[in-house]
Structure 1
Amino acid sequence: MDIAPEDNGAEEPAVERRGGWRRMIRRILLAVLAVLVLPYLLILVYALPFTRPVSTLMLSELALMRGYDRQWMSLDDISPNLVRAVMMSEDARFCLHGGVDWNQMRSVVEDALDGEATRGASTIPMQTAKNLFLWNGRSFIRKALELPLALGADFVWSKPRMMEIYLNIAEWGPGIYGAEAAAQRHFKTSASKLSTKQAALLAVALPNPFTRVASKPGRGMTRLAGVVERRARASGAYIKCIYP
């Protein structure tokens, strides 16, 4: 008696579907891994002095067909007035930490756990990592990605290179990126010729350059810029990693 073989026709499509799902999941995981690894490779590339990094915001301007204004300036060509003012306004311990100011970070976490209003704890390396590789907005995911990138960048780059990149990708208004474009747009001068007052106004505009316009400061912004200007004049002990 002939015994007809079992019909496996229904099983084969199911096996093919499972194999297709596995391949798709594997591709997604590889794509996610590539996105996570790419910034660390770029950190190595950007250590080369002739590279001129662009930020994710600058790339989004291009994607939206808006364009942007940025003229790269070496740190040697940027006024020390701006370097001092930005450091005193944004990250006074820039020369002392390794990318993350853990003391400041701990204070912020403790305030949050106590239900108190928190202040910013972002260092210049953290802001540089965010601007280069991540996105704006507050989220634990972004902060979790930002911290190791800041540590990695600070480990690979010298402090002058870090400051140079930061001052060339910082946003100073709609479509205005970098110190030279900011100086030209707001004060009709070069970043190499900024006065202490102009530098302080640009520094205090950084946290929100859309509401804080350096060339049109309100009373509160002018008062804050005065504080930064005084701190910048007395910053000699804090900036030795840039100006020995």
Structure 2
Amino acid sequence: MTEAPPLIFSPVRRRSRHARIAGLQRREHAARYVIDDMIAEIAERLAFVRREPGAAAVVGDWTGDLAAYLERSGHAITRFDAATLDEELPWPTGEFDLVVSLGTLDTVNDLPGALVHVRQALAPRGMAIATMVGGASLGKLRRAMQEADGDRPAARMHPLVDPRSAPGLLQRAGWSNPVVDTQRLTVRYSSLDVLVADLRAQGLGQVLASVPPPLTRAACERARAAFMAQADADGKVSETFEIVTLTGGR
């Protein structure tokens, strides 16, 4: 009997987070730089491999920009809503020439199983691309949260995929010709509150199954001070997002 994966992420909170993104994006000057970077990376990758257009499935494309790009390239698009698609189950339809997941697979409890389902949704010789925020991301925010909690730190940020383990995951999932690439996106912040607002607007808040206790007012002030203590000479903090891109086929 196969042992069930540990429940790290809450499926309910995960779906709710994806469902809220459209509303958050309607706010003036809402951040979207992480998904923009992911889409640019995927477009560059597809231009390099020069695949013939075909049936393409896209999940997590809440801006619609990737679907529009693929349509202009001649693909027939099926868009899946990340708020309703359970990526830990087989996809409802299959035989896609291209499957793209934008920033959704880093919060599934059974990542190897989800990667199997992506591969099974492909047609023979189909191609899959999955992007996500990787483990080297948000180091300064993590340090600030640790300072806020002091000697009794709570799990306030969810674990992220280590790209060094990704090749093994793809091999276990049966992806052919697996490739794992990483790139760094650096964004500068004038305060911790701006960073937190940006993360929420982009659907990057934590969705842990075990919800940590709320920060007290004093802890919030410690977090703000610890974050700004890492500022550059101009008073802004340079924070890093590691973007991990997984590519392979059936």
Do both share a fold (TM > 0.5)? Answer: no
The structure in which a higher percent of residues are helix is: 1
- Structure with greater proportional strand content: 2
The TM-score with structure 1 as length reference comes to: 0.24
* Larger Rg, first or second structure (1 or 2): 1
